[in-house]
């Protein structure tokens, strides 16, 4: 690859940064896309504080971010119709002989590459191109995956600076090897500083070359390659190397008198309480979204892929999320996106616990009550998918092991869903196999009215990871079964359901009751709580929960409430088994035989011993 044009567009200092890495694959990559994009200049981000500050200042100078009243706070606005992950435009580039599943969106690899590269031609004329180096997982770690991002968006580069560890030195340690992820993004033509050609928005994932391409979009879920896009690459690599990439939080739960901290991972579909669990007051957080898990010397060890949070801000208030709210309302590095900026130059969002603003500026421009948008709909003062980007270390409950290169030992694994009439609030599997097959592989989540316009529709979501799978489902399930080989006592697996309703339609549990379920799980992991064996697994004893409700929440817990919440709903459980079996029979060509047998065994237990 001719590197002359790259050298022309870099300053001597920036080109020297690339040369120092002595990596031909990397140089060819940068040269190829410099020649294709034809930027006005190229900036190379090393691990230095000066380079990070350069990108922060460029984001403000180019008005991709605007400073707010609080020091370090900025706001970014995406286009009116560029406010979320583009599921329809996100596709895998697959060869004709590759098969993943019937639900996975794909395009012929050669056709997709030709299309995206045509969209890339001259797309950065007059702009600066950023070449940024990051590390997925802690640096200097068995878990580390180096990654390089090319983008013309200083907002994207700044966001990644907050969310990921700097990785320039990780590339230096590669000593010329090519074992890294690559991401290429352009915002495309801009109109009012937002992507103009949304009809040509594309997000293509090339598993063969471990690359992601993104064009004509600014929304972070489509452009920050290291997030869910990198997750798809990592799921494939993990499958080939014998570890797991999971859509999981990592948190620490204190034991009695805070003399012990037990780490849990947890995987929940959207709107099922994942972040609320990870951020429980008084406990510790390592990560809220993506985890790498490895079997290391007979223990399941895990790290947070990220060092920050790109979180939905709606309903974050001082009452609901005190630690996050504190970080969002005090000076520090925070990027808000698609919120409202009020007359005092402060960020405001839906459900922030404060009086609604009368006017301001948001993703639609100047805003006031009853404003109608270009889609002929009333414009809320902030978008429902408005976000915040912060560093985990700025949260008072951040755990000291966030950057531990060895990770943390996982004591228990939690799966959750939104279920109004079937699953008990918390149950423990009989063993690892039962947990993966009869809990994780059976996750369903009921839709809310705000999601699809119809409440209560059950959506199957295997391990809360279905949207991001880059390997066949059967293979993914088998990988989860295989990871505990050689482990004498694998971590127990639990299932939670915060959304059980009574006959009157009211929730049977309060929003804070989840803290009791977590404390019970912590005791179970450490052999300090009993359980009752049922056809679906182990459930808590009343005496233990009564004690925990008093200790954790300071309230009484009645035997009547316990009986209603933890009764095994036989008909509903049997119906769920049939639904899940039908899905696997119809949609999964490589379903492991042991999964169907496990479900049949559970069905037999329910029919023969109905508690």
Strand ranges in 431-560 using DSSP code E only, listed in sequence order: 444-446, 458-460, 493-497, 532-534, 537-539
User: Which of these, 286, 295, 307, lies nearest to 238 by C-alpha position?
Assistant: 295
Dist CA 427 CA 322 (whole Å): 28
Give ∠ CA 395-397-399 in degrees, rounded to 5: 105
- Count the neighbouring beta carbons within 10 Å of the beta carbon of residue 397: 18
Dist CA 164 CA 479 (whole Å): 27
User: Which of these, 125, 116, 113, lies nearest to 190 by C-alpha position?
Assistant: 125
Sorted by sequence, the CB contacts under 8 Å of residue 499 that are 6+ apart come out as 272, 418, 419, 420, 446, 507
Residues paired with 132 in a beta bridge: 45, 149
Q: What Å distances lie between residue 36 and 14, 124, 125, 266, CA to CA?
A: 19, 9, 10, 42
**Helices H, strands E: what count in the chain?**
19, 33
Contact 370/389 with Cβ under 8 angstroms? no
End-to-end CA distance of the chain: 70
Dist CA 527 CA 541 (whole Å): 14
Q: What is the dihedral of CA 392, 397, 399, 402, to 10 degrees?
A: -10
Give ∠ CA 124-127-131 in degrees, rounded to 5: 80
User: What DSSP string describes 89-114?
Assistant: TEEEEE-TT----TTS-EEEHHHHHH
Catalytic annotation, residues? 272
The token pair at 167 is: 């990785």
Strand ranges in 63-208 using DSSP code E only, listed in sequence order: 66-67, 73-76, 90-94, 106-108, 128-136, 145-151, 165-166, 181-186, 190-191, 194-195, 202-206
């Amino acid at each position: 690859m001719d590197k002359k044009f790259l050298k022309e567009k870099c300053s001597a200092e920036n080109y020297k940064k690339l040369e120092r890495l002595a990596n031909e694959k990397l140089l060819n990559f940068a040269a190829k896309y410099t020649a294709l994009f034809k930027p006005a200049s190229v900036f190379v981000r090393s691990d230095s504080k000066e380079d990070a500050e350069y990108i922060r200042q460029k984001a403000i100078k180019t008005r991709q971010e605007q400073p707010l009243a609080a020091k370090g706070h900025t706001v970014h606005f995406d286009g009116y119709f560029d406010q979320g992950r583009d599921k329809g435009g996100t596709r895998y580039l697959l060869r004709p002989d590759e098969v993943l599943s019937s639900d996975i969106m794909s395009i012929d690899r050669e056709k997709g590459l030709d299309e995206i590269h045509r969209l890339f031609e001259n797309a950065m004329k007059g702009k600066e191109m950023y070449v940024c180096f990051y590390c997925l997982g802690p640096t200097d770690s068995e878990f580390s995956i180096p990654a390089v991002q090319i983008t013309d968006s200083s907002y994207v580069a700044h966001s990644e600076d907050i969310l990921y560890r700097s990785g320039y030195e990780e590339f230096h340690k590669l000593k010329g090897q090519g074992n890294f992820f690559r991401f290429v993004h352009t915002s495309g033509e801009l109109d009012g500083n937002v992507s103009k050609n949304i009809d040509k928005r594309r997000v293509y994932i090339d598993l063969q070359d471990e690359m992601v391409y993104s064009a004509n979009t600014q929304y972070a879920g489509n452009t920050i390659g290291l997030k869910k896009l990198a997750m798809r690459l990592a799921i494939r690599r993990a499958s080939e190397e014998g570890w797991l990439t999971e859509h999981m939080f990592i948190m620490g739960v204190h034991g009695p008198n805070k003399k012990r901290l037990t780490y849990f991972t947890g995987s929940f579909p959207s709107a099922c309480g994942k972040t609320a669990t990870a951020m429980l007051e008084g406990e510790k957080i390592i990560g809220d979204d993506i985890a790498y898990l490895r079997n290391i010397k007979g223990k399941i060890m895990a790290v947070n892929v990220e060092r920050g949070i790109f979180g939905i801000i709606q309903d974050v208030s001082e009452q609901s999320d005190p630690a996050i709210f504190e970080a969002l309302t005090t000076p520090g590095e925070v990027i808000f996106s698609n919120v409202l900026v009020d007359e005092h130059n402060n960020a405001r969002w839906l459900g922030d616990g404060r009086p609604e603003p009368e006017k301001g500026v948001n993703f639609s421009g100047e805003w006031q009550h009853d404003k109608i948008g270009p889609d002929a709909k009333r414009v809320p003062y902030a978008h429902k998918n408005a976000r915040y980007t912060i560093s985990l270390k700025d949260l008072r409950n951040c755990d000291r092991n966030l950057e531990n290169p060895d990770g943390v030992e996982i004591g228990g694994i939690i799966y959750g869903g939104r279920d109004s009439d079937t699953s008990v609030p918390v149950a423990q599997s009989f063993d690892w196999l039962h947990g993966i097959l009869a809990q994780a592989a059976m996750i369903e989540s009921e839709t809310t009215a705000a999601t699809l316009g119809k409440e209560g529709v059950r959506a199957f979501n295997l391990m809360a990871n279905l949207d991001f799978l880059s390997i066949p489902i059967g293979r993914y399930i088998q990988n989860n079964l295989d990871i505990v080989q050689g482990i004498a006592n694998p971590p127990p697996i639990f299932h939670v359901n915060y959304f059980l309703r009574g006959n009157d339609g009211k929730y049977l549990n309060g929003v804070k009751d989840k803290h009791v379920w977590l404390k019970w799980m912590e005791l179970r992991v450490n052999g300090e709580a009993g359980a009752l064996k049922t056809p679906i697994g182990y459930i808590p004893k009343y005496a233990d929960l009564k004690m925990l409700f008093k200790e954790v929440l300071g309230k009484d817990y009645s035997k009547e409430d316990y009986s209603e919440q933890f009764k095994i709903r036989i008909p509903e459980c049997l119906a769920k088994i049939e639904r899940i079996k039908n899905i696997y029979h119809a949609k999964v060509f490589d379903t492991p035989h042991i999964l169907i047998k496990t479900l049949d065994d559970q069905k037999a237990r329910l029919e023969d011993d109905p508690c």
